[in-house]
Amino acid sequence: MNKRTLGSLQVSEVGVGCNNFGRRLDQEATSEVVLAALEVGINFFDTADIYGDTQSEVLLGRALGARRDEVVIATKFGMPIDDTHFGARPEYVRSACEDSLRRLGTDRIDLYQLHFPDDTVPIADTIGALHELIAQGKVREIGCSNLSAAQLREAKLAAGDGPAFVSVQNQYSLLARDPERDGVLEACDELSMAFLPFYPLANGLLTGKVRPGEPIEEGTRLATMAPERSLHWLSDEIQGRVATLLTYAEQINTPILTLAFSWLLSHRQVASVIAGASNPDQVRANASAVSELPVEVLERLNELTVQG
């Protein structure tokens, strides 16, 4: 598995999103996924304090055990855990970090990410607290998620001469190409930041296992998603684009999973494609899906998905 640079870190081109840990997967199933990832050369695990009702970090830490030093752990803070644990106030940043360290069973977080912007707190205050955590050795690099290009620039200015966000994690896939249009990819180049796409497989629509017009398999992300969210992904427009991509994948005899991963990795800003997995087979499939696509294939994919 090739690695790419994320700040001072080296991360595998495919990472594991840990949203299923503690939600759909118990400790045994989580450990199986983590072990499978390590076996295929994946070293990047992305979780958050809210995943699995705070249990994702716990299960990940236990699954890694003595192999913790072999991996890069990314986690996040800021989204509401309950009525009092949320936001980006300096005092909360400090306590949230301590809680994540305890749950993960580790002495440092490799990439600590602001999960969502907090408009009630000056970004300079949040970054100031993150600088303290870096100085104390509790955090190695800092990043963010769901920030706009303007917010990224503001955060860079707020960091001054100190450590700045080295990555931004926003939605990006063949079916959601917003970072190209909203200037976030351009800001990554300008600010020397890495980009981490979430929902790279568009909630399973780009795996090849979900076929337009066919029933959604029980237990999958789409099947368990709230109706107001799944409505978008199951709309005629999105389903039509999926059908077009499936047809093209068949024409060039290339799995749509390979097209989804490799198209994202063709963008220089992308450091790693983070995808969830509910079993070892999915991890292995994700890891083996990466290839260097011919220029003409990349151009055709851009044409087919330009409205996305």
Q: What is the pLDDT of residues 47-80, one digit of tens each?
A: 999 999 999 999 999 999 999 999 999 999 999 9
Q: Is 236 part of a structural domain of the chain?
A: no
**Active-site residue, from 51, 92, 112, 172:** 51
Give yes or no for a contact between 148 and 185, defined as CB atoms under 8 angstroms apart.
no
At residue 218, φ and ψ (nearest 5 deg) are: -60, 145
Q: Taking all residues of the chain, what is their mean pLDDT, rounded to a whole number?
A: 95
Distance of CA 96 to the CA centre of its chain: 20
Residue 199 known to be catalytic: no
Q: Is 237 part of a structural domain of the chain?
A: no
Q: Give the per-residue pLDDT at 215.
A: 67
pTM of the model: 0.95
Q: Give the per-residue pLDDT at 235.
A: 85
Distance CA 137, CA 108 (A): 7
Give first-to-last CA distance, the chain, whole Å. Answer: 29
Judge whether residue 118 has pLDDT over 80: yes
Distance CA 246, CA 254 (A): 9
Number of domains in the chain: 1
Q: Is 13 part of a structural domain of the chain?
A: yes
Which residues, at least 6 apart from 303, have a Cβ–Cβ distance to it below 8 Å? Answer: none
Q: Is 72 part of a structural domain of the chain?
A: yes
Distance CA 11, CA 185 (A): 19
> Predicted confidence band at 29 (pLDDT cuts at 50, 70, 90)?
very high
> Predicted confidence band at 187 (pLDDT cuts at 50, 70, 90)?
very high
Q: Is 9 part of a structural domain of the chain?
A: yes
Q: Which residue segment(s) compose the domain that 37 sits in?
A: 3-210+255-292
Angle CA 179–201–43, to nearest 5: 90
Q: What is the CATH number of the domain that holds 182?
A: 3.20.20.100
Q: Is 230 part of a structural domain of the chain?
A: no
> Predicted confidence band at 224 (pLDDT cuts at 50, 70, 90)?
low
Residue given tokens 């979780």 in the structure block: 47
Tokens of residue 36, six digits: 């499978």
Q: Give the per-residue pLDDT at 220.
A: 66
Q: Is 234 part of a structural domain of the chain?
A: no
Q: Is 308 part of a structural domain of the chain?
A: no
